[in-house]
Amino acid sequence: MTRTIIHADMDAFYASVEVLDDPSLRGRPVIVGGRPGDRGVVSAASYEARAFGVHSAMPLRTAARRCPDGVFLPVRPERYREISESVMAIFATYTPLVEPISLDEAFLDVSGSAAAFGDGATIGRRIKGRVLEELGLVVSVGVAGNKLVAKVASDLRKPDALVVVEPGDEAAFLAPLPIRRLWGVGPQAQAALGEYGVTTIGQLASLSPATLHRRFGRHGDEIAARARGEDTAPVQPFHAPKSIGHEHTFDVDTADMGKLEATLLDVAESVASRLRRHDLAAGAVQLKLRYEGFETLTRQAPLPRQTRESEPIYATGLALLQRTLVDGRAVRLVGLTAIGLTHAQQLTLFDAPARGDRLAQSIDRLRERFGDGAITRARLLTERPIRRFDFGERPNVPGRG
């Protein structure tokens, strides 16, 4: 059976959700990531903002200089996750083989869906129509015989793309495109290939495989196959995360140990909450510390046991911080990453769930219902503004009934 793979990619997802929830933003340059003076980076930019040269991962201050009239908004991860779940549910009605890559994109193997829903192009059109009608959002779709070509296709004519590559046309479709569009060909590889006069995927495909192998080793064999449009990677419905992390960039570099400890506690709470959401437990933790001047250090240590509770994650992270921190040096960023992950069921195969774990899950449910500020540690009250809600009334969240 000929494979039919769809790559579906939401257009400017975070910014589009913000416009969905506040229609007055339509047509305006929307920049998601924080305030224009913050020291973070852009998480997403609407196409109107991109016209000013604003793009994701750009420092917010640079974005503010390029687009002074932009609408700068904070990131709302819970809202984006809520919409993402609705999008993925639509995808799953056409095939059980859905591989989410992030909140806003996924691969679908619809090879066995033709009898029920039509060919790949028809399914792609149906998906686009349903996402627009049911959620008010636009998705770009690429249809091809493998993941590589489907991904390139969906990105080629954004926004609102539907690009279909027929079986056998993969190499011809890729040939005129610049080599930067090919997986595994980053800036260094582009520079190296430029020494051979290679700027397009077709030129890369014409280059001697032996030459590529001598220059890049096994990686050369891989990019040669990709240049010919070859990719046998299957669509895998679920990937368990290998790590879960969270970090915080300070508005002003700080050497205040009290502030660093409180921030680390807040970060540990976020990491633990995400572990519980994925039903995972961590065996070790990694500290990330960035000083003024962007010097970045990482240190890791095992946890006393597999856990998804914030206290041991914080305690281990704090010990790493105390060993790593240089007195008097101001810190720009601090972060924690949980590693050595296992399924949380292994924690309770023979014992009832710990009281602390049950309490943490109850807190998670409260925050999910009333917002992150509904309940927090007293120690963090002086470190960040806390939103308070009347627990007898659900907060008014835009876009919800």
Q: State pLDDT tens for residues 115-161.
A: 999 999 999 999 999 999 999 999 999 999 999 999 999 999 999 99
The pLDDT-based confidence of 198 (bands split at 50, 70, 90) is very high
Query: For 129, how many CA atoms within 13 A lie in the half-sphere containing its CB?
Result: 6
Expressed in angstroms, the distance from the first to the final Cα of the chain is 44
The pLDDT of residue 364: 52
Tokens 């609408």, residue located:
71
Q: Are residues 49 and 154 in the same domain?
A: yes
Contact of 99 with 78, CB cutoff 8 Å: no
> What span, in angstroms and rounded, lies between the C-alpha atoms of 394 and 193?
57
Is pTM beyond 0.85? Reply is: no
Q: Are residues 13 and 149 in the same domain?
A: yes
Task: Kindly tell me if the per-residue pLDDT of 187 is higher than 70.
Answer: yes
Task: Kindly tell me if the per-residue pLDDT of 401 is higher than 50.
Answer: no
What does the radius of gyration of the chain's CA atoms come to, in whole angstroms? 24
The pLDDT-based confidence of 342 (bands split at 50, 70, 90) is confident
Task: Kindly tell me if the per-residue pLDDT of 350 is higher than 60.
Answer: no
Q: Are residues 151 and 175 in the same domain?
A: no
Write the CATH number for 89: 3.30.70.270
The pLDDT-based confidence of 110 (bands split at 50, 70, 90) is very high
Q: Are residues 76 and 176 in the same domain?
A: no
- List the strands of the sheet with 44-45, edge to edge: 44-45, 30-32, 71-73
Q: Are residues 262 and 177 in the same domain?
A: no
105 is catalytic: yes
pLDDT in tens, 258-299: 999 999 999 999 999 999 888 888 999 999 999 887 788 999
To the nearest 5 percent, what fractions of the chain are helix, strand and coil?
45, 20, 35
How many Å separate Cα 209 from the centre of its chain? 34
Within 44-186, strands assigned E span 44-45, 71-73, 98-102, 105-109, 139-144, 162-164
Residue-number span of the structural domain to which 79 is assigned: 1-164
Among the three residues 146, 164, 182, which one is the final residue of a domain in this structure?
A: 164
> What is the number of domains present in the chain?
3
Contacts with 309 (C-beta within 8 Å, 6 or more apart), sequence order: 272, 354, 356, 357, 360
Contact of 183 with 147, CB cutoff 8 Å: no
Q: Are residues 174 and 145 in the same domain?
A: no
Q: Are residues 108 and 200 in the same domain?
A: no
Domain annotation covers residue 47 = yes
pLDDT in tens, 204-234: 999 888 888 888 888 888 889 999 999 999 9
Domain annotation covers residue 116 = yes
pLDDT in tens, 226-270: 999 999 999 988 766 789 999 998 888 999 999 999 999 999 999
Q: Are residues 252 and 211 in the same domain?
A: no
Contact of 302 with 284, CB cutoff 8 Å: yes
Domain annotation covers residue 73 = yes
CA angle, corner 127, sides to 156 and 89, nearest 5?
120
Q: Are residues 17 and 144 in the same domain?
A: yes
Write the CATH number for 356: 3.30.1490.100
Domain annotation covers residue 391 = no
Catalytic residue selected from 105, 170, 261, 269: 105
